[in-house]
Amino acid sequence: MSPDSPNQNEFFYSYSADELDIIPEDIIQLVNADYRADSDAYFSIIAELLELIPPNHEYRSEMKLFSNISFMNDYFKLKVENIVFSLSEVLYKDISESVMVSFFVCTAGDIFTDISMEFSRKEEYLKAYLVDLAGNIAVGKLASRATGNIMEKAGKMGMKATNYYCPGNCGWDLNEQRRIFKLLSGEFAGVRLNDNNMMSPMKSISGLIGIGRNIIFRENTCELCSNKSCIYRDISYRRIK
């Protein structure tokens, strides 16, 4: 990890593949929890696939703190500087005691998508799927680390931090991503948003973390989500490190 601070409210972190430590078990728990007999076969395939990610591949995470914020209870809105976010009710409840917020963007780069698409082109769909999952796990781990970084900074100010929340989850409209990138002046952590609100590189994540003295850290944000069959629900890589 190599933290860097462009200014006192903005923080950039870079991780190597070794530091992020994606292991076959991270992926196996997503693919076949009830198929233990297949685990050995999957393990060897996944281990080989993870070898395709160079050890010096850079994972990036950037976050910015904002203290000029206000909440509008009636419509579950959060105003940050001059930008108004429309939150979901559940998200609003979790962060409305915040006195500061942090927005973050993390990316695993293009490598997972590139490798996955190459396997798709060769009709190696299982490998394509497993590499795609590995990329999703990477961004999940990055978001957890970003939350850990913000918790540490909040602690130094005598405050606490919430878990992370992302547009597209917890009832928060995916279109809100546009506002995050506007607030962060377009490109952040090397990630851009296209006209369809899709981040480039694709294996990226953006989100919000609340900071305050009276906030509560919700260990498992999956309980806010209505998608009960999501394969990422309640899995361990989301734990904050």
Partner 1 sequence: MDDLLKQIFTSIEKGKINRTSPFPPELKDKDGADELTRQALKEGIHPSEILESGMISAMELVGKKFSRNEIFVPQMLMSAKAMNAALQHIKPYFDSGEAKRKGVFIIGTVAGDLHDIGKNLVAMMIEGGGWEVIDLGVDVKPEKFISVVNEHPASVVGLSALLTTTMENMKKTVADLKTTYPDNRVIIGGAPVTDDFRRKIGADFYSPDPQGAVDYLNAGFTG
> Angle at Cα 238 formed by Cα 75 and Cα 61, nearest 5°?
80
Q: How many residues does the chain have?
A: 241
Residues 67 and 32: their CA atoms lie apart, in Å, by 44
Q: Angle, nearest 10°, between helix axes 39-50 and 125-156?
A: 70
129 lines the binding site for partner 1 (CB under 8 A):
yes
User: Does the protein bind partner 1 through residue 125 (CB under 8 A)?
Assistant: yes
Near partner 1 by CB under 8 A: residue from 5, 195, 214, 226: 195
**Which of 10, 97, 118, 173 is close enough to bind partner 1 by CB under 8 A?**
173
Q: Which is nearer to partner 1, 94 or 176 (CB)?
A: 176
Structure token pair of residue 56: 């010096």
Which residues, 6+ apart, have CB-to-CB distance to 76 below 8 Å? 86, 87, 88, 89, 91, 92
Candidate segments 71-79, 90-98, 192-200, 203-211, binder of partner 1 by CB under 8 A:
192-200
From the centroid of its chain, how far is CA 156?
A: 23
CB atoms within 10 A of CB 138: 28
- The nearer residue to partner 1, 201 or 210, going by C-beta atoms, is 201
- Per CB under 8 A, the segment of 84-92, 113-121, 151-159, 210-218 that binds partner 1 is 113-121
Show contacts with partner 1 in window 53-112 (CB under 8 A).
none
Residues forming the site for partner 1 (CB under 8 A):
31-32, 35, 37-38, 40-42, 44-45, 113, 116-117, 120, 123, 125-126, 128-130, 132, 168, 173-175, 194-198, 202, 229, 231
